[in-house]
């Protein structure tokens, strides 16, 4: 599974290459244009949430949160982790996927995997341009960050 966020209307060819062959793509918001989703759908089915900059009419069809079930595990997706309004462990989630900060991070907190793929769109300050890959196998999660050479 591929995870991408904060494209802000720019879907880089490096991101497309990094996500090639995945079974599903999660976009954690700040998409920018519907063309980004359309292009990603050429690679795999896409689940996307609305980010704080996704304000145009096309974005109104997107929810602010999504639940994804894959390989017997549940993932919770939202754009801004600061707006998390539930306890993932109590709610049965194994991972929380977010974006917003443009800072890539993978962290295990009390058995819950928190994944922020960073920003795959316009470069911001000295932060890397990146996506993440998530493998779900035998009820086990393994995530990795992929820094894009741009």
DSSP string, 87-137: -HHHHT-SEEE--SS---EEEEETTEEEEE--B-SS--TTPPBEEEEEEEE
Reported as a pLDDT band with limits 50, 70 and 90, residue 67 is: very high
Work out the average pLDDT over 72-96.
Answer: 96
Mean pLDDT of the chain: 96
The whole-number pLDDT of residue 74 equals 97
CA dihedral 11→17→21→26, nearest 10 degrees, is -30
How far is the first Cα of the chain from the last one, in angstroms, to the nearest whole number? 22
What would the pLDDT profile of 91-106 be if each residue is shown by its tens digit? 999 999 999 999 999 9
Percent of all residues in the chain with a pLDDT value above 70, rounded to a whole number: 100
**Statement: residue 124 has pLDDT above 90:** no
The whole-number pLDDT of residue 137 equals 87
Reported as a pLDDT band with limits 50, 70 and 90, residue 138 is: confident
The whole model's pTM is what? 0.96
The whole-number pLDDT of residue 150 equals 82
The whole-number pLDDT of residue 22 equals 97
**Statement: residue 32 has pLDDT above 90:** yes
The whole-number pLDDT of residue 139 equals 82
2-147: CATH topology: Purple Acid Phosphatase; chain A, domain 2 (3.60.21)
Work out the average pLDDT over 23-34.
Answer: 97
Work out the average pLDDT over 35-54.
Answer: 97
């Amino acid at each position: 599974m591929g995870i991408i966020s904060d494209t802000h209307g720019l879907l880089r060819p490096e991101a497309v290459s990094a996500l090639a062959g995945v079974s599903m793509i999660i976009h954690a918001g700040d998409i920018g244009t519907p063309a980004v989703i359309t292009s990603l759908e050429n690679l795999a089915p896409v689940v996307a949430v609305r980010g704080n900059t996704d304000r145009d009419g096309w974005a109104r069809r997107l929810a602010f949160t999504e639940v994804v079930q894959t390989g017997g595990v549940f993932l919770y997706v939202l754009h801004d982790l600061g707006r998390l309004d539930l306890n993932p462990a109590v709610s049965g989630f194994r991972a929380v996927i977010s974006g917003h900060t443009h800072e890539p991070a993978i962290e295990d907190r009390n058995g819950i995997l928190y994944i922020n793929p960073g920003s795959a769109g316009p470069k911001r300050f000295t932060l890397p341009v990146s996506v993440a890959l998530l493998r779900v196998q035998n009820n086990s999660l393994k995530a990795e960050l992929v820094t894009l050479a741009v």
